[in-house]
Amino acid sequence: MTRLFKNFIKFLYQCIGYYTVKIKDVSLKVHPKHLGFWRNAARGQWEPETYEILDTYLTPDMNYLDIGAWIGSTVLFAAKKCQQVICFEPDPIAYKYLLTNIQLNTFANITSHNIALSNVTGFQQMASLGDTLGDSMTSLLSQQTHDTALSFTAFTLQWDTFISNYPISQIDFIKIDIEGAEFFLLKEIIPYLKQHKPILYLSTHAPFLAKEQRLKAMQELASNLDFYTSCLDESQVSISFKEIANQKNTTRCTSFVFLP
């Protein structure tokens, strides 16, 4: 498919206003801005294990929290599977498309917030660890590891402030994918996780840390979560908590499922 033809197809869907995509058994309307991404997702070429995990563990009576929602790649799918979705996406470009995608599907069970959950309440600089804002790689670590003019000031909300004021009694499934900021956010969430034991789907980004920090960060993460009954890798294969901090997982971005 030539670039000219691809651009024509995108223009055609932009005129229509949306593109219809089917991921597993879920049909969705999405903004054509990210047409290539959504097509890859439908073909199983974008994190098929993520959709498999959501499909396996989400049930109609669950409340789902998505920290790092991007344009809705997991939020929209989850909204078809569970009772309520709460999501956070601080990137203003990504958030614009997240809202559009929610509206296109007329979801009434999604509540979205254009802020970042963090270990402090206040304002912090964020930028993309990739090439541009809105590219799914916006991170609170960017001020330390990436020099870019494409940054913005995000409002950050401390976990305790969020959970103590939010009108929801129980969160049953939490997904965290925040480009390296999980290492300090998770420490704030541990008391809640210990008390309520929601399913946790955690993406880790050790390569985004300084090399000398990676092993210790992964070891602390494993130690902090060892109250869970079991840990699975991305393929839903059971692994020991010790394996979380092995050499392979300090040199690549990987995800784990923690089950009560």
The sign one gets for the Cα dihedral 111, 114, 118, 122 is: negative
Domain that holds residue 246: 47-259
Partners of 75 in the β-ladder: none
Q: Which residues of 71-104 are buried (b: 16+ CB within 10 A; e: fewer)?
A: bbbbbbbbbbbbebbbbbbbbebbbbbbbbbbeb
Q: State the CATH number of the domain containing residue 71.
A: 3.40.50.150
pLDDT score of 145: 44
Percent of the chain whose pLDDT exceeds 70: 93
Which of the four pLDDT bands, split at 50, 70 and 90, describes residue 8?
low
Residue 61 and residue 9 share a domain: no
- Residues 198, 90 share a domain: yes
For residue range 25-38, what is the model confidence (pLDDT) as tens digits?
999 999 999 999 99
Q: So what's the pLDDT on residue 143?
A: 54
For residue 78, the model assigns a pLDDT of: 98
Question: Domain check: are 238 and 252 in the same one?
Answer: yes
The answer to whether the CB of 225 falls within 8 A of the CB of 242 is no
What's the full length of the chain, in residues?
A: 260
Residue 139 has pLDDT above 50, yes or no: yes
User: Is residue 124 domain-shared with residue 186, that is, in the same domain?
Assistant: yes
29 and 80 share a domain? no
If asked whether residues 35 and 132 sit together in one domain, one would say: no
| Per-residue model confidence as pLDDT tens digits over 70-99 | 999 999 999 999 999 999 999 999 999 999
- pLDDT tens by residue, 177-193: 999 999 999 999 999 99
Instruction: Quote the percentage of the chain above a pLDDT of 90.
Output: 81
Residue-wise pLDDT for 143-181, tens only, equals 544 455 578 999 999 999 999 999 887 999 999 999 999
Residue 226 has pLDDT above 50, yes or no: yes
Q: From the centroid of its chain, how far is CA 86?
A: 12
* Same-domain check for residues 5 and 24: yes
The answer to whether residue 227 scores a pLDDT higher than 50 is yes
Do 33 and 86 lie in a common domain? no
Whether residue 146 contacts residue 128, with contact meaning beta carbons closer than 8 Å, is answered with yes
Are both 41 and 13 inside the same structural domain?
Answer: yes
- Pairing, β 199-204 against β 138-139: unpaired
How far apart CA 43 and CA 37 sit, in angstroms, is 10
The b/e string for 213-248 (b: 16+ C-beta within 10 A; e otherwise) is ebbebbeebbeebeebeebbbbeeeebebeebbeee
Q: Domain total for the chain?
A: 2
Q: Are residues 15 and 122 in the same domain?
A: no
pLDDT mean across residues, the chain: 92
Q: Residue for token digits 């223009």?
A: 11
Are residues 87 and 187 both part of a single domain? yes
**Are residues 31 and 54 both part of a single domain?**
no
